[in-house]
Structure 1
Amino acid sequence: MHVTLDNPTAAPRPLGPYSQVARVQLADGGALLYLSGQIAEGADIAEQTHGVFATLTALLQAHGATLADIINIRTFLTDMDDLPGYAAVRRTYLTGTPPTSTTVSVPRLFRPEALIEVEVVASCAVGRP
């Protein structure tokens, strides 16, 4: 098993000293992609969710994957009253069979203005970069 850590230039730079993507190369030539939690700017949950999914899309594309390749999504919300707004936006991006999912309420995120943070695990098929 080989692990590559990456901060693709196609996505916004991380806000701290961490890697945004861990690519775990599998024996069959495929890979698992572990994406760090992503936040985004915006005035409300809808704007921030759109921004988060734009960043997730860029990170996945840099490794030959798409949102359809997500197998697990973990969401952190600072206010569970935002769940319906988040879910409505999420459905516009994840249109196929939904991945496994966990959503938790947290008292705050590392940026005070952040309402949401999302991390994912995705698969990358054999032969994709």
Structure 2
Amino acid sequence: MKTVVNTTDAPPPIGPYSQAIIAGNLIFVSGQIALHPFTNELVTDNITSATHLVMENIGAILTAAGADFDDIVKTTIFLKNMADFAEVNEVYGTYFTDKFPARETVQAAALPKGVSVEISVIAAKP
């Protein structure tokens, strides 16, 4: 059994997928990009502001699912350019206090809408 999670506080899906799915006690959040949830405009001025918006979008979806960043157990970060890793990592780290989730970071040849960063997460429902 699965439950679809949707919130207007995060960007609507740009394809045939849900913002998140709850299956059992796990929450699978689809990859989020730096798309502003209210204006539907991309934030592309720099990787730091883009990463903050990606994390804020993830936070809004987690809230709608009844969870928060402390509940994340696994993240996947996709970067257009691995040279952005240090800046993305610095922003990413500010969203966690301790017991960091497992993570992988990969460079992708291309990402949706030509963005520089996309992040997906799996969380355990509290």
Do the structures match in fold with TM over 0.5? Answer: yes
How far, CA to CA, are the matches of 1:98 and 1:8 in structure 2?
25
CA contact (8 A) 2:32 2:58 kept: yes
Shift of 1:15: 1.8
Distance 2:119 2:13 in 1: 14
Partner residue, 1:35: 29
CA distance in 2, matches of 1:80, 1:23: 31
Post-superposition Cα deviations, 1:41-76, rounded to whole Å, max 9, x if no partner, equal 231110110000100000000011001100000000
AA at the equivalent of 1:58: A
Q: What is the deviation of 1:86? A: 0.2
Percent pairwise identity = 36
Residue of structure 1 equivalent to 2:65: 63
How far off its partner does 1:11 sit? Answer: 1.8
Question: Hey, what does 1:28 align to over in structure 2?
Answer: none
Residue of structure 1 in register with 2:48 after alignment: 46
The correspondence of residues 1-129 of structure 1 with structure 2, limited to 5 A, is 2-25=1-24, 31-40=25-34, 41-112=43-114, 114-125=115-126
Unaligned residue ranges in structure 1 (runs of 5+): 26-30
Query: How big is the shift at 1:91?
Result: 1.0
The structure with the larger Rg is 1
> Any unmatched runs of 5+ in structure 2?
35-42
Structure 2-normalised TM-score?
0.89
Q: Counterpart amino acid of 1:39? A: I
Letter in 2 for 1:57: G
